[in-house]
Amino acid sequence: MSVREVRLEPSVTLRVGSVLLTERQLQVIQAIHEEGSQNRAARRLGVSPPVLHRYLAQIEAKVGARLVQATPRGTKLNEEGERIALEYRALTRRMAPSTKLVVGGTIVTEELLLRALSRADPQGECGLIISDDRWNLEDFQAGLMDIIVLDDPLFLFDLEGVHWQEVATDRLLHVNKGPRYARFLYGAQRIGFRHLETQGIEHRIERTFRSPEMLIRSDLSFFLNESLALRRGIKLRSDTDPGFLAHQINAVYRKGTPAVRRIVAEIRRAGRKV
């Protein structure tokens, strides 16, 4: 077989302290991270749960530290395990052939980003990921995104070594149906619930919604971004003055390249219309 016929495929290893984790060991950690359950991770990897448990015990013995913790919802990685999983994800992404710039946002800022990228990226070369703040922030920290637009400004307190700019302002609408609350997956929800705490208002969060329409139809109290409600044609009367729930929307980026600066500038320009 000639060299041209040989399939060339890069492989990842990662040094943790003084030991080297193989790609298979890293895949075990990544599967637990993404599945949140050893049983589901085992199915994904095509092994039985006891075999996966044995793999994991061997990996923990190798690095000399615990990498997982038990939760009511299953098994999740602890801080050290998550750091390894994020680094592995970043390494595999860096080895991928794609070099396009990737921007992340949520359904709250989706229209803003579509307008901005239509101007800044007329060739359609940038990638656009719509998810939630936590997921986007995790991918950004893993090096998988170049720019993210955060609904929740409180996340800025957790960031180091990055640039950020305010690109828009928004307000939360508060619909109070009693102490039972739903959390909307998008938007600056923590600002709404912190307002309840500062006012001494009794509340408990019972579930999470991704669909604003399903959120509104539920019998639970909730917070929803005013800009999203307006774009969806949703008419709501807020039981709290939205001015008390006003907040910044911010673009976060690590490298100030000309392409990044151009896109951030267009996001700010589009944000004036939010």
Q: pLDDT by residue (tens digit) across 26-64?
A: 999 999 999 888 899 999 999 999 999 999 999 999 999
Q: Give the SS3 label for residue 134.
A: helix
| pLDDT exceeds cutoff 60 at 4 | no
Report CA-CA distances (Å) from 171 to 142, 174, 246.
30, 10, 4
Average pLDDT of every residue of the chain: 91
Q: How many alpha carbons lie under 13 Å from residue 247 in its C-beta half-sphere?
A: 25
User: Taking Cα atoms as reference points, which of 162, 143, 123, 157 lies closest to residue 264?
Assistant: 162
Confidence bin at 17 (pLDDT 50/70/90): confident
All residues at 6 or more sequence positions from 229 whose CB lies less than 8 Å from its CB, including other chains = 173, 212, 235, 236
Q: Tokens 């399903």 identify what position?
A: 214
**What pLDDT does residue 41 have?**
92
Question: CB-based contacts of 271: which residues, under 8 Å, 6+ apart?
Answer: 112, 167, 168, 249
- DSSP for residue 233: T
Please state which of the ranges 131-135, 149-153, 224-228, 269-273 shows the lowest mean pLDDT. 269-273
Is residue 155 scored above 90 in pLDDT? yes
Looking at residue 1, its pLDDT comes to 47
Alpha helices in the chain (DSSP H): 23-35, 38-45, 49-63, 79-95, 110-120, 133-141, 189-198, 212-217, 226-231, 258-271
Provide the percentage of residues in the chain whose pLDDT is more than 90: 75
At 175, list the tokens: 């619909």
Kindly list the structural domains of the chain, giving each domain's residue range(s) and its CATH number in brackets, ordered by start: 9-95 (1.10.10.10), 102-163+250-271 (3.40.190.10), 169-247 (3.40.190.290)
Cα separation, 97 vs 168, whole angstroms: 34
Tokens describing residue 229: 């409600």
Mean pLDDT of all residues in 207-223: 97
Q: Is the pLDDT of residue 89 over 50?
A: yes
105-148 pLDDT, tens digit per residue, is: 999 999 999 999 999 999 999 999 999 999 999 999 888 899 99
pLDDT reported for residue 246 = 97
Tokens describing residue 130: 């719509």
- 192 contacts: CB under 8 Å, gap ≥ 6: 172, 174, 223, 245
Which two structure tokens, joined as six digits, stand for 210? 């991704």
pLDDT score of 255: 79
Residues 46, 49, 50: CA angle, nearest 5 degrees: 120
Q: What is the pLDDT of residue 9?
A: 63
Q: What integer pLDDT is reported at residue 6 of this predicted model?
A: 64
| Burial class for 203, CB neighbours closer than 10 Å (0-12, 13-18, 19+) | middle
Q: What is the mean pLDDT of residues 150-174?
A: 94
Pairwise CA distance, residues 221 & 184, whole Å: 10
